[in-house]
Amino acid sequence: MTVSIYSGLAGRVVLITGGASGIGAAFVRAFAAQKSRVAFLDIDRDAGEALVREVTDAFGSAPLFVPCDLLDIEALRGAIDRVHGALGDAAVLVNNAANDKRHMLAELTPQEFDWTMGVNLKHVVFAAQAVVPQMRARGGGSIVNMSSIAWMRGAPGLPAYAAAKAAIVGFTNSLARIVGPDRIRVNAIAPGMVITERQRRLWYPDETQIAEFRTRQAVPDAVTPDDIAQLALFLASDDSQRITRQCLQVDGGL
């Protein structure tokens, strides 16, 4: 893959939620490669610390890792305050953290529904709430929210997850209107099938199942975490300064 260089991202503070593994880790690596000042939040301390070592070895600069349970909004606010104190005003927020735990409508409990909304939607709203004043103070910024094609295609094993991911697009549209006058742009990315290590372990252990799914794509090649990260770089950069209130699909034309 040819990687674009966005010189304007160098030195900018980038905050990523759910950054320790999968697509989130690809975001951390991609922004570190642009020489951004990267911070990421995640509940998985071991994976987060391992990623810090990897990125430091690769790029010569350590990202700031703050362990955080994003279901605890006060802890989230505290973590964002810690990043702000260490690095300064955030120029970019990537709301990545999510969990696509399978569930069936007939068996869904109110507690499971609330958990699904909490881990996929609630923290997105409150992370943005906490970061917007920083972006206003610096004269602008870019927020990238992670949606999913699950809500577009009507994934039958993910009704509450799909509802949360659809709601993220609604929130993206509303927030873009609210903060646009402050030159803060808000967009969403909706990935297709991205086979991370976790996806392969939990949902797609059969390679033939993956291959069959890809036959439905217009472009049959695998959609990778790096593909998603490259779009996030563009949306975070000044090259996309007139793009806001959009949900962009990265799914090979599924």
Q: Are strands 13-17 and 37-42 parallel, antiparallel or unpaired?
A: parallel
Contact between residue 95 and residue 146 where contact means Cβ atoms under 8 Å apart? yes
- Residue 161: active-site member: yes
Concatenated DSSP letters of 81-107: HHHHHHH-S-SEEEE---------GGG
Cβ neighbours for 76, distance < 8 A, ≥ 6 positions apart: 41, 68, 70, 123, 126, 127, 130
Evaluate whether 149 touches 191 at the Cβ level (below 8 Å). yes
Active-site choice (6, 31, 40, 161): 161
Q: Decide: 143 and 93 in contact? Cβ < 8 Å.
A: yes
Return the active site residues: 161
